[in-house]
Structure 1
Amino acid sequence: MRIVVTGASGFVGGAVTRALAEHGHDVTGTGRRDDVQFAHAVYRRWALSEKPPEGLFDGVDAVVHAAALADDWAPRSRALATNLGGTRAVLDRLGDARLVHLSTASVYDPAVPTVRAREEEAPVARYLGSYAASKAAAERELMGRMGAKGVRAVILRPHAVYGPGDTTLLPRLLRAARGGVLRLPSGGEVLHTLTHIDNLVHAVRRALDPASPTGVYNVGDDSAVVLGPVLRELLVRRGITGARIESVPYRTAYLAAGAAERLSRLTRLRPPVTRYAVSQLGLERTLELSRARELLDYRPTPTTLDGARDW
């Protein structure tokens, strides 16, 4: 297959680009950066707000849309321009190609626990940050075109993607653990469906199969885990042996984050924590994976920290 991958200069898009190329596909990765190279794939610079390079979509069989602004404190206008506008830019050039759209489990209701959530439970009407709201808007746009214009698309919803090359989740955790204390709402003693990057790549490959049904699918590791123990083990594997997890009551953490957000709007400085982050860490976030297992033949592996010292 000839495949274009957007967001190839990032963690997820880069992993997808490398894996698809290694499995024999003709892959072109795109991104905003200039200094990106792949051993077995072509890379071309394309910021989604700009005109694409000449011939980028010629003869393309599928597009994996991984580009996104994953920042819950980004201005709403910027988040919509990137996450909704970028999706529209891909859709406008898609032609007859199949689309695999990488969304997020953040489109589920942030105000209540996500308990083995099924795909039909999202998008919802309320969100705590621009990232989730803009990704939900992109899903709505795509679903509308799937219905009205017959776009062939698969939407994948992973939660908390981690693994080698992670530039977001792990770095934030390590920064937060400086000083020897990692403060977590509810102490992290809540269930989460995490998503190893290899499982997400596996889901993308299954979604690209022309025989796989289109639609929306949750993806993640084989089974849910309690977040706190996983984070403790990760810190140990990273050599941070003196750090401990300190529990903060969920309501206390949520109210403190709200106060920090209000102050940040006055100072124009980024808040140290947001309500979105508190809700994602302090409430159960588990996904029902049966649809992907049954219709995509998705076979994820369990949560693993193997090799974490080198991530």
Structure 2
Amino acid sequence: MTVQSEQKLLVTGGTGLVGSHVIQRARQAGIPTVALVRSLDQAEYLKEFDAELIEGDLTDKNSLRDALTGVTIVVHTAAKVGDWGSVDEYRNTNVRGLENLLTALEEQCLIRHLIHISSLGVYEARDHYGTDETEPPHAAGIDGYTLSKIESEQLLRKHSIPYTVLRPGFIYGPRDRTVLPRILERLKSGRFAYLGSPEKLMNNTYVEHLVDAIFLALFNEDALSQTYNITDVSLVSKREFISTIAELAEYPPPKKVVPLPVARNLARVMEGLWRFLGKKQAPILSQARIKFLGLNLDFSSQKAQQELNYQPQKTFQQSMSATIEWFRTHHKLP
């Protein structure tokens, strides 16, 4: 990694899974780093990486001024994530918040490169077998999160900021506070069930591998205006992914399988009922969860391998072992 001495990095979403690992890697490389966080209290653990912490919110333009002082490079990881809620809730952070950031960066005129973390969810909700970046995003029939990710990519391309878009799959690793804790809870309770064939592939992306890709792109001029799919390259089936988590956490491996047509029908009924009742939490079954657990999610990362020299170093077993060990060490196993 070649870093010019005058570079200063801003990481949005500093307390998140990806943001915290970007900050850690940047400080290890000696890069001056500012972390934009919504709450200084929740960011206390980031102090061990010796990053500058600034409290701010992308939806509040005025709170961005101090964070951008002297910033030349940005890794934008902040996002409202999830698979339930109104589209406007996701747009507020993921689109309007990005608009505020881009406008503020353009005003200070120092920005050299912004890495935007998008999602493989922007592709059509169907089985994928080696889909690459030549396939356009598909905005029909998806949840608010992925729709807002498509719109944020479109917005980015309308501005003058030098950018690269990275589209990871399901990101897992130490410090995950969203999906993996829910999987662990369901495995422990014995309520986990596969949706359709457990042999379909996951789009697994270990957080350290994503961070590798981020820094390979960040100081690479050839990556400007490019979009890259990012996965572990060596993908695993749903069965291997889930059973490995169960084995490492010492929970019984799941055996229940809900046929995909049944799951789709149940999801439609439950989503309709949940919306009618105005529930804030997602139902057990939704179209977004079927997309995650019921489809074959094989996306090509060849472009990143060829153009960025992206070569994931850890096997899935090593990556998930490190992840579950972190959960165990930090008393996060349910």
Could you tell me the TM-score, scaled by structure 1's length?
0.93
* Shift of residue 187, structure 1, vs aligned partner: 4.2
Deviates more, 1:30-39 or 1:135-144: 30-39
> What is residue 140 of structure 2 aligned with on the other side?
126
Q: Deviations over 1:95-133 (max 9, x none)?
A: 3411000001000101x1122111121311313210000
Establish whether residue 286 from structure 1 lines up as the match of residue 298 from structure 2. Answer: yes
Could you say if the C-alpha distance between residues 245 and 168 of structure 1 is closer, same or farther in structure 2, counting changes exceeding 3 Å?
Answer: farther
> What is residue 114 of structure 2 aligned with on the other side?
99
* Shift of residue 243, structure 1, vs aligned partner: 3.9
Distance between the aligned counterparts of 1:264 and 1:286, measured in 2?
Answer: 31
> What is residue 63 of structure 1 aligned with on the other side?
74
Distance between the aligned counterparts of 2:309 and 2:163, measured in 1?
Answer: 17
* Shift of residue 52, structure 1, vs aligned partner: 2.5
* Shift of residue 74, structure 1, vs aligned partner: 2.0
* Shift of residue 221, structure 1, vs aligned partner: 0.5
* Contact 1:101/1:156 (8 A) holds in 2: yes
* Contact 2:13/2:76 (8 A) holds in 1: yes
* Contact 2:196/2:258 (8 A) holds in 1: yes
Establish whether residue 310 from structure 1 lines up as the match of residue 316 from structure 2. Answer: no
Runs ≥4 in structure 1, deviation > 6 angstroms? none
* Shift of residue 165, structure 1, vs aligned partner: 0.9
What letter is aligned with 1:196? Y
Could you say if the C-alpha distance between residues 288 and 170 of structure 1 is closer, same or farther in structure 2, counting changes exceeding 3 Å?
Answer: same
Distance between the aligned counterparts of 2:302 and 2:98, measured in 1?
Answer: 27
Percent identity, aligned pairs only, is 27
Establish whether residue 143 from structure 1 lines up as the match of residue 157 from structure 2. Answer: yes
* Shift of residue 170, structure 1, vs aligned partner: 1.0
> What is residue 14 of structure 2 aligned with on the other side?
8
Distance between the aligned counterparts of 1:56 and 1:173, measured in 2?
Answer: 35
Establish whether residue 245 from structure 1 lines up as the match of residue 255 from structure 2. Answer: yes
Could you tell me the TM-score, scaled by structure 2's length?
0.87
Give the length in aligned residue pairs.
305
Distance between the aligned counterparts of 1:204 and 1:48, measured in 2?
Answer: 21
Give the secondary-structure state (helix, strand or coil) at the position aligned to 1:119: coil
CA RMSD of aligned residues (A): 1.5
What letter is aligned with 1:22? Q
Distance between the aligned counterparts of 2:256 and 2:199, measured in 1?
Answer: 11
* Contact 1:239/1:309 (8 A) holds in 2: no
Q: Deviations over 1:21-55 (max 9, x none)?
A: 11110000112122113222111111111123543
Q: Deviations over 1:208-264 (max 9, x none)?
A: 114342210011103221121221011111121x24231111111111111110000
Match 2:205 to one of 192, 195, 202: 195
1:1-311 aligned within 5 A = 1-35=7-41, 36-37=43-44, 38=46, 39=48, 40-50=50-60, 51-95=62-106, 96-97=110-111, 98-110=113-125, 112-145=126-159, 149=160, 151-214=161-224, 215-240=226-251, 242-269=252-279, 270=281, 271-301=283-313, 302-303=315-316, 304-307=319-322, 308-311=324-327
Give the secondary-structure state (helix, strand or coil) at the position aligned to 1:79: helix
Distance between the aligned counterparts of 1:53 and 1:226, measured in 2?
Answer: 42
